[in-house]
Structure 1
Amino acid sequence: MPKTSFRKNSDSPHSLQLASEKPISKVRQQFTLNFEKLHLKVNGWVKKLIVYRYLFLGSVVGVFILSVSLLVSGIVKFSAFPNVEGDLLQARVLMPVGSSLAQTQQTIDKITSSIQAVNNNYQKEYQTPLIQGMTVHYGMNADAFEGGAHLATVSVDLLTAEQREQSINQIADLWRNHLGVVPEALNIAIKEPVISPAGRAIYIRLQGDDLTSLSEASHQMQNWLAGYPGVSNLMDDLRPGKPEFSLNLKLGAFALGLTAQEIAAQLRAAYQGIEVLETSIDLETYEVIVKLDDASRDELADFDYFPIIHPVSGHMIPLVNVAEIRSTRDFSRIQRINAQRAVTIYGDIDAEVNNTQAIFHDLEKTFLTKFKQQHPDITVQFEGEVKEGPLTRNGSMRKSMLMGLIGIFALLRLQFRSYSEPILVMANIPLAFIGVIFGHLIMGLDITMPSLLGFVSLAGIVVNDSILLVEFVKQHINEGMTPHQAAAKASGERFRAVVLTSLTTIVGLTPLLFEQSPQAQILIPLATSIVFGILSSTLLVLFVVPCLYTILEDLGVVQIKNN
């Protein structure tokens, strides 16, 4: 009879179970221990706060009002979009109308020399050249709305923002300081060529009937704006044109047989030329044009004695004897909006130094009242960032927020079959706003459009924790607990889920808050709103929802039915 032997199999399921039971690491044990201690403390705080629920909820409302006041008072400022560093800097030159190309080139030489001095200083300090390339375009200025030899633009390619040790606004200030005052130029604007999506920082339109009054009002407002820190590149589009002579016939000139048309025709023929002969040689036709030579045309001292030939007698009469000659200079460009003359003031604001909303708020408070009294016939309109920002913030953004809140309320109404409990759940949204404001204050950021977009998205994120808490409160009440006991127990049971769910989102977005690349600067305000909004709502929802639930039960708003 064959022998049957048995051998212990180390691969049996029982042995696999033993092998899988590895000891828990000390890090995990310590984390679990500390987390449970925090859990017990929070549970104890919830029970105490439910007792003092009215005092606690009043304190939370006070913190919410404080956060709103930080925004209203201007401590936390609002700007349309965050400032994103670029790599291109331009010097836009505007010379007086009629300036020659040689005069413009002399000014360009001063500008290029000054930026080269900035480059040399940067290279000595950081051992790398700042300028990567430089081009000059004559006859072009994007801010002038005209063309000619009196315009030029110097474009300088810089090191990328990640490699530079100085911001582009600092480099622009150094360029201005090295350049100094250039008296022969009307305006030299050193700026980035990109306009913010919200429009120009300073874009003010003045409208009236008298061009002289408009020009005086424009310069008065520019002088006031120049006093604010961070304001630069101020200019308007009402500029003097070329020098000209204005002629008015004297009394008695018409009696001599001379008319304004006759004098104008002789001056036009002398300075622009007149065709006196047309002849043909073989198959080609030639025109003979007679006009003053260049030396005579440029000699303005003899203009008073320009000979006017009498159309009948042929006698020569000096121009000064029949006409009054005045040297004048009109405007090179006149803009009309809605059939009314207008002047537009442009300018830039360094977002690191000052805030657009703060400047215009102070302008309205300290300057505009007196300005309108001095110029009652001139209307003032704010365009650009000041106009477009509130339209987006108060228009489309508010509409989107309202539609989102209505959608959330409708879904919660279907879930709870109640009108009061959805409002209880959505009370977590203002708690997130507290974190949004204080988060921007801590990070040193302005509230921008991406910040508001982050807050709008928070409305659908932070209500999730409230939904679970309210469901658990109702469940425990149905099991026979009192509202106070049910609220405290629900907050304790959902502590781990609420904290860990929010913590994963915060940890995932935190690296974005400290990103230095220019591409990420537009997203940092959005991430700040989400991270600090979730943080504040998570910390407060565990306390506010139980307290608010019991308060609504005290007031009889939430009806509890025990099964």
Structure 2
Amino acid sequence: MELYVEDYGGGSVTKLKGVADNFMKALEARPEIEEVYSPYEVNYPQYTVTVNASLCKRYGIEPASVLSVLNGYIGGNYASQFNSFGKLYHVMLQTDPGLRMNKDDLNDIYVVTEKGGYTPITELITLKKTYGLQSLNRFNLFQGISVELTPAEGYTSGDVIDVVSEVSAATLPQGYGYEYTGTAREEASSSSATAWVFALSLLLVYIVLCCLYESLLIPMAVMLSVPFGLVGSFMLINLAELENNIYMQVGIIMLIGLLAKTAILITEYACERRREGMPIAAAALDAAKARLRPILMTALTLIVGLMPMIFERGAGAMGNVTLGLCVVGGMLVGTLALLLFVPVFFIFFQTMEERFRPRPAMTTLAVLTAVCLLSGCKTYMC
């Protein structure tokens, strides 16, 4: 994992380096992190190049041309490009590595003068050995120092994200912060929204069920059955020693819909029997018996269909294994729990529903009576 320690106040890089070092020491003390490393140095050995502008003017050479030649031979410049055998190749100008190993090799680099002659670049520049910044890095327009983290064995990247958040709050002074890069940045931004995604998923399912049953209590018999499947999903994932990643989160969202659908089969059948006049307990038991076979067939078909994902091996197989184990574990435990607890929940909430709200038949009679009264009908009593 990689992040940048940033200076929001625009201070010196040396102070930013000190803040980053203290931050790294605090991270190294945590057991969740195996290694913390930063390649950035403020005392990096280097040469300071000074161009003799007056001598360049005497030769008719621009100082920028001297620096361009030096950059081209030592660092490399893009010169051109050409097509060959259906491929595009770039032409880079650069000295052979063996001819630029030390400063004495600069004697073999020449600059073209105004009269077309050549002069050694060492006559136009002077070198001074110094220590300074390795580079000036910016991330999101702020000065930043890159820090690389390696999670310890037995800990996930999510644990490291939590640790970094705790340590930064305790060690980073005001005006300094951090930002992740790469996949860690996506994980950190998505982890904060995971709870909202699950909450909105449950809320959407509840609203749809309320519209289906025209009740605020009956849908709770379906909603309360979902956590049983989630428990089974987390149990199987922990037994397999897998981490909670994006594949598991996608499987959980899919599992919520599957378990809710299965619970709806029982609840809807029980509601129909209750509307026909059957007692609440008898309606719940009859619904469980009648829907037992289709529920088991649906669950077993899904479980058997996901088995190839669980036993898959090779590159990228862990994502399929995590998704498969998440759904299979949730369906195994959730299906058994649905058959046992959904009838109980229906009996409880249907009893509460009828206690606090009139029966639908009574409500219909009251509406017809009110319509007859308002219309002036004298025969509504019949």
1:464-498: per-residue Cα shift (whole Å, max 9, x none)? 22222123222333444321222223223322332
Q: Secondary structure at the match of 2:243?
A: coil
Matched, 1:424 2:221: yes
Tell me the CA shift for residue 386 of structure 1: 5.1
Distance change >3 Å, CA 328–CA 532, structure 1 → 2: same
Residues 233 and 348, structure 1, Cα contact 8 Å, conserved in 2:
yes
Equivalent in the alignment of 1:545: 342
**Any conservation in 1 of the 2:6–2:179 contact (CA below 8 Å)?**
no
Change (3 A) 1:382 1:287: closer
Tell me, in whole angstroms, the C-alpha distance in 2 between the residues paired with 1:390 and 1:422. Answer: 34
Q: Quick one: which amino acid aligns to residue 259 of structure 2?
A: V
CA distance in 1, matches of 2:119, 2:357: 102
Is it true that 1:519 corresponds to 2:338 in the alignment? no
5+ residue gaps, structure 1, are 1-200, 248-259, 280-284, 301-326
- Partner AA of 1:502 in structure 2: A
Alignment of 1:25-424 (within 5 A): 201-207=1-7, 209-226=11-28, 228=31, 231-232=34-35, 234-238=37-41, 240-244=43-47, 285-287=116-118, 328-337=130-139, 340-349=142-151, 353-365=154-166, 367-368=167-168, 371-372=171-172, 376=173, 378-384=175-181, 385=183, 387-395=185-193, 398-399=196-197, 402=200, 406=204, 408-409=205-206, 411-413=208-210, 415-424=212-221
Query: Counterpart of 2:285 in structure 1: which amino acid?
Result: A
Hey, which bits of structure 1, 4+ residues long, moved more than 6 A?
A: 260-266, 271-279
Aligned residues: 308
Q: Distance in 2 between matches of 1:461 and 1:276?
A: 76
CA distance in 2, matches of 1:511, 1:276: 69
- Counterpart residue type for residue 163 of structure 2: D
Letter aligned with residue 250 of structure 2: L
User: Do the aligned residues in 1 keep the contact of 2:35 with 2:150 (CA within 8 Å)?
Assistant: yes
Deviations 1:473-524 (A, max 9, x none): 2233344432122222322332233223212211221342232222322112
Provide the C-alpha distance between the structure 2 equivalents of 1:495 and 1:230, rounded to a whole number of angstroms.
49
Partner residue, 2:367: none
Give the Cα separation in 1 of the matches to 2:357 and 2:222: 12
Q: Measure, in 2, the Cα distance between the counterparts of 1:503 and 1:359.
A: 38
> Which amino acid is 1:451 matched to?
M
Greater helix proportion: 2
Structure of larger gyration radius: 1
Aligned to 1:435: 232
Conservation of the 8 A alpha-carbon contact between 1:202 and 1:349: no
Give, in whole Å, the separation in 2 of the partners of 1:542 and 1:290.
Answer: 86
Q: Which amino acid aligns with 1:356?
A: S
Root-mean-square deviation (CA), in Å? 4.2
The answer on whether the counterparts of 1:218 and 1:236 sit within 8 Å (CA) in structure 2 is no
Which among 502, 517, 536 is matched to residue 299 of structure 2?
A: 502
In structure 1, C-alpha distance between the alignment counterparts of 2:141 and 2:134, rounded to whole Å: 18
Show the counterpart of 2:372: none
Q: Which amino acid aligns with 2:159?
A: A
User: What TM-score, normalized to structure 2?
Assistant: 0.65
- The TM-score, its normalising length taken from structure 1, stands at 0.46
Task: Note the C-alpha offset of 1:221.
Answer: 3.0
How far apart, CA to CA, are the structure 2 residues paired with 1:264 and 1:238? Answer: 34
Would the alpha carbon gap of residues 479 and 262 (structure 1) be closer, same or farther in structure 2, given more than 3 Å must change?
A: closer
Unaligned runs of 5+ in 2: 67-105, 363-382
